[in-house]
Structure 1
């Protein structure tokens, strides 16, 4: 990354009937944000103008045809479509999902072509995005297909990081989905991300058990003893500082999470309920393990307050700063690994 060039931060707007546009626009309504990055929103001039009018905001923007035309010091809008979508705040309309995906696909294409450096995605509705051209349960699975690497859904704040062994699958499918290979892959991805993206040299990872009380020695299920424990032991023997499985019901309440750099939960709600309880509004959803950086706020479309100007942009702003910091950390890490002599010099304090 060039020293004087601001990070080009792409934004997909999410469901136009939700709070996605609102939190994105509120974030950059503060002109100080333009000192940190160049925001590039993938939508259309008319769509953003309508949102600004409806929300009673005073925000100027620069309309462009391509992300490469974006100007520093401006909020840039890439015109992805010409038609004027019907905005129905609070409604889970099919049209809202269609434009959310058009914005996302355009933003991801720009990310792959290096026209933007990082991507922040506003919330989508996992139901109305479904179509013949888009059959994914969410952002993470789509990005995993489009980008290089092994993806990990990673919820992060400055003090808490929770990854998911399995993410958007039914609870009934969790146990049969978890295999030694899946555990090895996710732990490896998490460890690499902690080193490369968060600057942690020797990360400590805790794994939560699959069953209540991690199976109670097989009394409440054998998966923890037969699958998790041997795989954790294998990884530890090879040098990965991974521990567990820990009983999930008391792990966060006893503050055990404070002893680790990250926690790997067995399934979605096991990880996200404590994460959002402890950090709602400050948390960021990061898709770790891919060759590009993507973050998102930790909330959904919030239809109940959409279009009312009541949405809190705190989590979106955190997603912006997190994406930029990860990009810088990763750039520095990759430069150091390419130049081992410089790496040795830094280690010696030279």
Structure 2
């Protein structure tokens, strides 16, 4: 791969009191990673230099003022600020949240403009990042507000892909939020994603039930019979290979999940609890459905590990590789479908 073909991979630093900067630096300490992409961190050379010194991490980097000055074969840092910042590893501070937002905002803007090809986000703290400019439950909702498309959170590891029909909302609101329209919307996003981003021509999608035992014919709730089943039947009539609802308590333990290209869970913990049990530390969070590609590791700030040299870089590294691969697959899909449409017009 020559330099002109290398994907420009933007990185937001997340909460600098957590393990974000550590896993970024350690990932690109391996120079072979620079063969796959041109990494561009949105942050501060002064902050990263201080972090390198405190953690004794010798990853070299190239400081630049503008994204377009980034160099292939180097870990680049776009210098967004020159402030002297106190790093308090392992502590939740408001100042860390403020700078996490500045990094995310600049990286998202660059992604939207096409200055970078993909974005990988280091973990934020959903509490200390809150402000007038950021009033969202997480990255997914913020990116959904800034980019074209409709988002779907997908947690993935190898061939296991779990999407969420409802995301970061209280459990008390799940049952009233589930509707035929929402289920159809999320199935549509998942189906398109599997086709264009994972090159699966006829994806098989499983949908988990909302209630225990899918409601046991109304004994433990009527939503599965009155909303979920009829909606799945309608989607099947459209030609999509969608099945369910499946009782969530046995779906993963029985290994049934292996029969599908993706699973849609009704709510956050229904999907993420089994995912992290099966794949914690190796998984990737992918924001599907948007015009641009964003991935992240499957873990949080891990304050309890910050500064102790215990952080595992595998999930972040997988997030980098996933972003690169999805970008290539989507580009190939767009080229193929564009050529097909062109041929059809010529006939």
After TM superposition, the score normalised by the length of structure 2 is 0.97
Distance 1:11 1:269 in 2: 27
SS across alignment from 2:28 = helix
* CA distance in 2 between partners of 1:153 and 1:46 (Å): 33
Matched, 1:142 2:142: yes
The answer to whether the Cα contact below 8 Å between 1:337 and 1:343 also exists between their aligned partners in 2 is no
SS in 2 for 1:132: coil
**Which residue is 1:90 aligned to?**
90
After TM superposition, the structure 1 stretch with the greater mean CA deviation from structure 2, 335-344 or 45-54, is 335-344
CA displacement 1:87-140 (0-9 Å, x = unmatched): 110111111111111000000000011110000000001111111111001000
Distance of aligned partners of 1:52 and 1:35 in 2 relative to their CA distance in 1, 3 Å threshold: same
CA distance in 1, matches of 2:86, 2:147: 31
The separation in 1 between residues aligned to 2:111 and 2:293, in whole angstroms, is: 9
- What is the aligned partner in structure 1 of residue 69 from structure 2? 69
User: Any idea what SS the aligned residue of 1:133 has?
Assistant: coil
Question: SS where residue 186 of structure 2 aligns?
Answer: helix
1:254 paired residue number: 254
Aligned equivalents of 1:22 and 1:73: distance in 2? 20
Gaps of 5+ in 1: 345-350
Aligned ranges 1:270-309 → 2 under 5 Å = 270-309=270-309
Other-structure match for 2:52: 52
Aligned to 2:337: 337
Deviations 1:225-274 (A, max 9, x none): 11111110000010111100100000000000000000000000000000
The count of corresponding residues between Structure 1 and Structure 2 is 344
Partner of 1:133: 133
Question: C-alpha displacement at 1:219, in angstroms?
Answer: 0.6
Cα pair 1:336 1:342 within 8 Å, conserved: no
- SS of 1:271's equivalent? helix
Q: CA deviation at 1:55?
A: 1.0
Q: Look up the match of 2:180.
A: 180
| Residue of structure 1 in register with 2:215 after alignment | 215
Superposed counterparts of 1:154-173, under 5 Å: 154-173=154-173
Q: Specify every segment of 5 or more residues in structure 2 that has no aligned partner in the other structure, as ranges.
A: none
Please state whether the residue corresponding to 1:288 is helix, strand or coil: strand
Q: d(CA) in 2 for partners of 1:231 and 1:31?
A: 50
Structure 1 pair 343/54, CA: closer, same or farther in 2 (3 Å)? Answer: farther
Q: For the aligned residues, what is the CA RMSD?
A: 1.5
Q: Tell me, what secondary structure is at the counterpart of 1:322?
A: helix
The Cα of 1:81 is off from its aligned counterpart by 1.2
Q: Distance in 2 between matches of 1:289 and 1:85?
A: 36
Partner of residue 238, structure 2 = 238
Which residue number in structure 1 is paired with residue 316 of structure 2? Answer: 316
Distance 1:189 1:343, change over 3 A: farther
Partner Cα distance (2:49, 2:3) in 1: 33
Secondary structure of the residue that 1:29 maps to in structure 2? coil
> Residue 33 of structure 1 aligns with which residue?
33
Residue 264 of structure 1: SS of its match in structure 2? strand
Residue aligning to 1:100: 100
Q: Is the 8 A contact 2:3 2:72 kept in 1?
A: no
Kindly indicate whether the alpha-carbon contact (under 8 Å) linking 2:121 and 2:294 is maintained by their aligned counterparts in 1.
yes
TM-score w.r.t. the length of structure 1 is: 0.96
Tell me the distance in 1 between the aligned counterparts of 2:145 and 2:110: 15
The 3-state SS of whatever aligns with 2:125 is: coil
The answer to whether the 8 Å contact 1:203/1:241 transfers is yes
Q: Conserved in 1, the CA contact under 8 Å of 2:122 and 2:296?
A: yes
SS of the residue corresponding to residue 236 of structure 1 reads helix
